Amino acid sequence: MIEAIGTYLPVWGSGSSRVAGDDEDVVTMAVAAGLRALDSSTVADVSSVVLVSRDLPVLVPGSGAALLAGLSLPAGTDVREQVGGGPAALEAVASAPSRTLVIGADVVGGSGAAAVLTGGTGAAVKVVARINRSLPVYTRDAAGRVSDYADPRLLRELGVKESLVQAGVAGGVDAAAGMADRDAAYLAEGGRALPQIPTRGASAALFALAAVCSGRQPGRVLAVEQATVSLAEVDSTVVRVSRDERPAMPPVRLGEPSEADISISLAAYERAFDAKLWLEADRCVECGTLAYPHRFRCISCGAEGQTETVPLPRDAEVYSLATIHVPVPGLATPYTVVLVDLGDSGVRLLGRLTGAPPGRVGIGDKGRMVLRRVAIRTGVPDYGYAFLPTVDEEVAA
């Protein structure tokens, strides 16, 4: 049963397709969508997380630690990372036990992410047809080399249509994931238009579920990946759908980052990981002063005794800022760094500006801290928090 759905789209791109920012990847977008699906009453009950994508960061043993930290879920939560597209994500939702957070995220073919939280109540999802066939119009090998035979008519006629015939699917669908809008038009009944889906990969199936559930009517969702198809039926029960989809902005032209690699100290990486990704501070039990990151001696009363860990607010206000134009290894320039006050905690945090052109922020501007990829150091994605300014739509909401 689908209890809630959250969606996320990067701000860069157009109304029909978005592009991930230079500080975004599958993990950061998955966190953004997952946080939309969760709320204070459900986050404590999540028993497992399933992340489906074909653009997963290549980390051993995986990206589970960063994903859970960004979602504020316990480090012991079960995480499964699955390589797959729309059909895999749709079937993951249909087969997931209660209290599972299923996330689909994509970088290639339209960037974005969507998350489904399952529960004991909500909309029932049942896969009623599936066909696995091979028609490799688009391939990507282990080294990342892509072969695209770019024949949409072949894929439509010998791929999707033939698979639907083999699956015995009759009648129209209410949302189609993994197909261009013009190629999916024939799947609708009664001359009506199918909802526009902003991505083509794993997240597309979950965006399609969000479209059907928003209509509060029973519907059928088709998920396509080349010639492989899965069809699911969704009942009409009301589902909470929360979207983080800001108006699109044209991508900013930045200078190419230096090819020089940024070395990493794994000891420092491990030492800072929890505080940086969980966004937690230590509170002195003697005087209550917060310290971020952890300090062995209280910066206020000098006590060296026990401390307690407390979460920091995510809402932020710009205290100071600077825009950097000097090239830095691994970073595209220019970029803006901001020093922000975190809520009323008294803690200030330094981070990059995200989701806005460099320099488009001022002292006193409000926003929130969001998980972003700070850099790639010796091949390792290094995550932290960046400042996302509030837009008018958020203020109005």
Q: In what helix (H) or strand (E) does residue 388 lie, and over which residues does it extend? A: strand 380-389
Above 50 in pLDDT, residue 395? Answer: no
Mean pLDDT, residues 365-391 taken together: 92
Kindly report whether the peptide bond that precedes residue 293 is cis, defined as omega within 30 degrees of 0. yes
Per residue in 206-221, pLDDT (tens digit) is 999 999 999 888 999 9
Contacts from 375-379 at CB under 8 Å and sequence distance 24+?
375/262, 375/330, 375/331, 376/262, 376/330, 377/261, 377/262, 377/263, 377/264, 377/269, 377/330, 378/261, 378/262, 378/263, 378/264
Q: Give first-to-last CA distance, the chain, whole Å.
A: 28
Going from the C-alpha of 205 to that of each of 89, 104, 260, 348, the distances in angstroms are 7, 8, 39, 40
Q: Decide which of 7 and 44 is more confident.
A: 7
Residues 222-245: tens digit of each pLDDT: 999 888 999 999 997 889 999 999
The pTM of the whole model exceeds 0.75: yes
Torsion 243-246-250-253 (CA) sign: negative
Q: 53: which strand partners?
A: 83
Q: Which of these ranges, 37-41, 105-109, 353-357, has the smallest mean pLDDT? A: 37-41
DSSP reduced 3-state for 278: helix
The yes-or-no verdict on residue 140 having pLDDT over 90 is no
Kindly report, residue by residue over 11-20, the tens digit of the pLDDT.
999 888 999 9
Q: Is pLDDT above 60 for 396?
A: no
pLDDT of residue 397: 42
What does the alpha-carbon distance between residue 67 and residue 73 come to, in Å, rounded to a whole number? 9
Place of tokens 């307690």: 308
**What digits encode the pLDDT tens for the residues 360-376?**
999 999 999 999 999 88
Domains of the chain: 2-245 (3.40.47.10), 266-279+314-396 (2.40.50)
| Overall average pLDDT of the 176-201 stretch | 85
Between the CA of residue 294 and those of 16, 198, 253, 290, 383, what are the distances in Å? 44, 41, 38, 9, 18
Looking only at the bridges linking them, the beta strands covering 48-53 and 100-106 are parallel
Q: CB-based burial of residue 283 (10 Å sphere; 0-12 exposed, 13-18 middle, 19+ buried)?
A: middle
Find the helix or strand (DSSP H, E) in which 35 lies: helix 26-37
Residue 155, strand partner residues: none
